[in-house]
Amino acid sequence: LTVDGCKFHHNHSDRSGGAMRIETFCQFTGEQTDICNNSAGIMGGGIHMYGYAAGNLGKYDVQYYLTEQLNVHDNTAQYGGGLGFQLTAGCQLEAGSSFNLHFNGAKFDNNRATVKGGAVYFENLSDPAKNYALNFYLNRGSLNGNKVYHDTEDHWNSWLYGSYYDKKDSGGNVESEEAYKSCGGAGYVYNSNIGYEPAQAETGTLTMNGNKAMRRGGAICVTGTKASATLRSLQADGNKAQDGGALACMSTSGVAESSYSKISLGDMELDGNTSIGWGGAVYIERSKLEVGTKAEILNSSTWIGGGIYACDASIIDIGDAPISSNKATTASSDGGLGGGVF
Task: Check if the beta carbon of residue 287 is closer than 8 Å to that of residue 260.
Answer: yes
Mean pLDDT score across all residues of the chain: 88
User: 158 pLDDT band (50/70/90 cuts)?
Assistant: very low
Burial class (CB in 10 A: 0-12, 13-18, 19+), 172: exposed
Distance CA 29, CA 25 (A): 13
Distance CA 16, CA 39 (A): 9
The pLDDT assigned to 209 comes to 98
Does the structure show a pLDDT above 50 at 340?
yes
The pLDDT assigned to 202 comes to 81
The pLDDT assigned to 164 comes to 38
pLDDT tens, position by position, 50-85:
876 555 667 888 889 999 999 999 999 999 999 999
The pLDDT assigned to 255 comes to 87
The pLDDT assigned to 24 comes to 78
The pLDDT assigned to 175 comes to 45
Task: Check if the beta carbon of residue 47 is closer than 8 Å to that of residue 88.
Answer: no
pTM: 0.91
The pLDDT assigned to 68 comes to 95
User: 40 pLDDT band (50/70/90 cuts)?
Assistant: very high
The pLDDT assigned to 163 comes to 35
pLDDT tens, position by position, 248-269:
999 988 889 999 999 999 999 9
Give the whole-number percent of the chain exceeding pLDDT 70: 88
Distance CA 60, CA 70 (A): 25
Give the β-pairing of 295-298 and 323-324. Answer: parallel
Does the structure show a pLDDT above 60 at 137?
yes
3-state DSSP helix/strand/coil percent for the chain, to nearest 5? 5, 45, 45
Does the structure show a pLDDT above 60 at 328?
yes
Distance CA 287, CA 330 (A): 27
The pLDDT assigned to 247 comes to 98
Nearest Cα residue to 264 out of 342, 196, 211: 196
